Amino acid sequence: MTTKMAPARKIKPHKIKKTTYEIIEPWLFLLPALCVFAVFLYYPLGKTIYLSTFLTDKFGNAKIYRGFQNYLDILNGKYSREFWNSMWVTVRFVFFVATGGLVMGLCTSLITVNKFPGKAFASAIFAMPIAIASSAAAMSFKMILHKSIGLLNYILGTSINWLSDPVWTFPIICILSIWLASGINFIFIGAGLRNVPDELYESASIDGAGYWRKLWNITLPCISPTLFFQIIINIINAFQSFNLVKLLTMGGPQEKTNLIVYSIYLDAFRNFRFGTAAARSIVLFLIIMVITLIQFRAEKRSVHY
């Protein structure tokens, strides 16, 4: 990108004095967007930072100033065991769900990229998770995963309590989340695949490349912008996952599914400790920001536009 821009810089621009209106004009165009951001992003962010330094009363009003004490409490104090546990749970969850959703989306879209009988039906099935409300799905799965009357145990001939078993609950929540995330991955990656120029495949075929060779050397590089976008979206969505845990496990068993967003919810809306909840949110915000920055650095190396 920079190399293309370079020649343009060599031409010395003719300096024109801007009128006041011309200086203001771009800001006017930005104003509506800035207003929306200010109301829904910057103000809440500022307020969250402010609240994170206070103890709040039962109405959520800031009451007692605590400085960094709330942060110390969660990072290395009375809430730290629970906080780091939920951090660890979240990191593993994000890893599995983001990669799982991506891989599943990639596989399903590769299956449906070629014509075959029943393609429309298969596509509909693969895209369906988008249309499924995760709360409704959770309620259905609550029964499917039931210990004694559940469909899953009936099919497998087992008697596992999928939603309270310390070994199985976490994988089950991951699998459900991957399934719910796969729909949007399928749509985006599928769109990416359709934009790969056919000539590349043709010439590769003439050169004698097989399916896997073409996949590795043509398809993946060509859809790498889409994959990159999907990775970021998957990671952010996974970090913000909440519904399944709220409805199916309530963070249990033994806090093994206590995702960070759920723990923030509990702290804020069950315990009414908005101060520590705000501090948790800020820590989460910083973590997501760092991860996103790292991803953008990685993008320069591995994504081809």
Partner 1 sequence: MKKLFALVIALIMVLSLGSALADDKTTVVFWYSLEGVNAETIKGIVDEFNASQDKIFVDAQYQGAYDDAINKLKAAGMGQLPCDIVHSYEIGTRFIIDSGWIVPIQEYIDKDGWDTSVIEPNLLAYYTVDGRINSMPFNCSTPLMYYNKTAFDEAGITEIPTTVDGILEIAEKLTTYNPDGSIDRYGFLFSNYGWFFEQWTGKMGREYVNNGNGRESYATQVMFGEDGAALDIFKMWEKIAACPYTAYIERGGTSAARAAFVAGKTAIFLASTANLAGVLSNVKGAFEVGTAFFPYVNPEDKGGVSTGGGTLWMIKSGDEAKEAASFEFIKFCVNPENQAKWSANTGYFPINVKAQETETFKANLEKYPQFQVALDQLHASGPEYVGSLLSVFPEVRQYVEDVTEKVFQGQLTAEQGVEELVGLANDAIETYNLVNY
Site residues for partner 1 per CB under 8 A: 55-60, 63-64, 78, 142-143, 146-149, 157-159, 161, 163-164, 166, 250-255, 266, 269-273
Of residues 146 and 214, the one with the C-beta less far from partner 1: 146
Strands 54-56 and 62-65: antiparallel
Q: How far is the CB of 192 from partner 1 (least distance, A)?
A: 40
Q: How far is the CB of 64 from partner 1 (least distance, A)?
A: 6
Residue 88: half-sphere exposure toward Cβ, Cα within 13 Å: 9
Q: How far is the CB of 42 from partner 1 (least distance, A)?
A: 21
Of residues 230 and 263, the one with the C-beta less far from partner 1: 263
Q: CB count, 10 Å around CB of 274?
A: 26
Residues near 285 by beta carbon (within 8 Å), at least 6 away in sequence = 45
**Residue 304 phi, psi (nearest 5):** -110, 125
Of residues 79 and 93, the one with the C-beta less far from partner 1: 79
Of residues 241 and 276, the one with the C-beta less far from partner 1: 276
Q: How far is the CB of 143 from partner 1 (least distance, A)?
A: 7
Interatomic CA distance for residues 302 and 305, integer angstroms = 10
Of residues 166 and 197, the one with the C-beta less far from partner 1: 166
Whether the Cβ atoms of residue 285 and residue 276 lie closer than 8 Å to each other:
no
Residues in the chain: 305
Separation of CA 42 from chain center? 21
